[in-house]
């Protein structure tokens, strides 16, 4: 795993303490588990980030931070993991969530969903409002689908990170064994 790279990029706890706006979290934000990078905390951070990434609007990072405080998983990894949603990916993800919700609720034979509104880069606020109203019009299938998709992405991310980390450790152990065997000959 690129653990050394993450450690270089991640801010130190002392630099975080200097940010006055974060004082509302108190000392809870500086718990060592939120900044320690190991297999459990990284996988948990990815899971939290993937789950909270589907929260509508700008509340994704705040949701991830609060979930990290509760679950005691790596905060920077969770925040970075929320960034998979953006203006380009959110509509396809929500359409997929709507399809999942419709399938689970059994509303597939009903009226088809209205197509998403066109995005106008010159009027971003109006476009965001139009997308928000479109999502609200999709109702229960979208709400259930977003939750189920978030759970699916979260679980998949968690197990993929755990498996990749284990695979990396096995390879490192094998290389170490080979170096020791070569040195002892």
pLDDT (mean) for 37-47: 92
Q: What pLDDT band is residue 113 in, cutting at 50, 70 and 90?
A: low
* Integer angstrom CA distances of residue 43 from 26, 37, 163, 177: 25, 10, 10, 27
Give the pTM. 0.75
pLDDT at 112 over 70: no
pLDDT (mean) for 25-53: 87
pLDDT at 185 over 70: no
Q: Give residue 149's pLDDT.
A: 96
pLDDT at 162 over 90: yes
Strand ranges inside the chain, DSSP E: none
Distance of alpha carbon 57 from alpha carbon 103, whole angstroms: 25
Q: What are the two backbone dihedrals, phi and then psi, of residue 31, each rounded to the nearest 5 degrees?
A: -60, 135
**pLDDT tens column, 118-152:** 777 888 788 888 877 877 777 788 889 999 999 99
Mean pLDDT of the chain: 84
Q: Which two tokens stand for residue 170?
A: 């096995």
Distance of alpha carbon 140 from alpha carbon 142, whole angstroms: 5
Distance of alpha carbon 67 from alpha carbon 48, whole angstroms: 7
Secondary structure (3-state) at 96: helix
Q: Give residue 71's pLDDT.
A: 92
CB atoms inside a 10 Å sphere around CB 89: 12
* Integer angstrom CA distances of residue 133 from 55, 75, 116: 15, 32, 10
């Amino acid at each position: 795993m690129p653990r050394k790279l993450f450690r270089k990029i991640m801010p130190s706890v002392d630099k975080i303490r200097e940010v006055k706006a974060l004082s509302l979290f108190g000392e809870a934000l500086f718990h060592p588990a939120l900044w320690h990078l190991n297999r459990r905390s990284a996988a948990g951070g990815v899971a939290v980030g993937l789950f909270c990434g589907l929260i509508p609007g700008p509340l994704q990072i705040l949701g991830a931070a609060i979930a990290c405080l509760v679950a005691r998983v790596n905060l920077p990894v969770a925040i970075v993991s929320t960034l998979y949603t953006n203006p380009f990916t959110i509509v396809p993800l929500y359409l997929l969530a709507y399809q999942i919700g419709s399938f689970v609720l059994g509303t597939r034979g009903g009226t088809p969903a209205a197509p998403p509104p066109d995005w106008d880069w010159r009027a971003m606020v109006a476009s965001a409002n139009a997308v928000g109203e479109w999502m609200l019009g999709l109702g229960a299938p979208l709400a259930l689908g977003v939750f189920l998709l978030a759970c699916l992405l979260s679980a998949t991310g968690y197990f993929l990170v755990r498996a990749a980390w284990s695979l990396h450790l096995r390879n490192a152990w094998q290389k170490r064994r080979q170096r020791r065997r070569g040195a002892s000959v």
